[in-house]
Amino acid sequence: MATDFDATAHHYGLIVSDLEREIEFYRDVLGLDVLTRFTVGDEAFGTAVGIDGASAELVHLDAGGARLELATYEPEPDADFETQLNQPGSTHLGLAVEDLESVAESLPDDVETISGPQTTESGTTIMFVVDPEGNLVELLDA
């Protein structure tokens, strides 16, 4: 099935338990440059990631043509629910699209979403979909 939009790679995300240690590893050991560091934690973010009251500290690093996103979450994950996005070791693929609202409306009915588009306090509009194998894909406005 062809779509009427194009998605491009934006970032590859890793959820970590010790953000400072991970930054040191990727920066000092692997030589990646820190591009930006920010925190999100408003209601829209919690809705977008499917975790009430969630906040995250995020760091984007330059991986030579790809952006690596490291994130740590509050609250910590529920031990009984291993697939939450705030679980250390969780991964997601971030794809930038033009006009996320239109893309969301055009998704087939059988595509599982965590929420519709949410504009977070950082000004980015995001939503998460789940691929057929259960992998999380973040769609964000380009």
Average pLDDT, stretch 18-46? 89
Q: Which residue has the higher pLDDT, 13 or 58?
A: 58
Considering only residues 38 and 21, tell me which one the structure prediction assigns the higher pLDDT.
Answer: 38
**pLDDT for residue 41 is more than 70:** yes
CA 75 to chain CA centroid, Å, is 16
13: tokens are 């995300």
Residue located via tokens 């964000």: 140
64/66 Cα distance (integer angstroms)? 6
- The mean pLDDT value for 27-46 works out to 90
Mean pLDDT (whole number) for 98-111:
90
Classify 67 as helix, strand or coil.
strand
> Please, what are the domains in the chain?
7-141 (3.10.180.10)
Overall average pLDDT of the 44-66 stretch: 90
pTM exceeds cut of 0.85: no
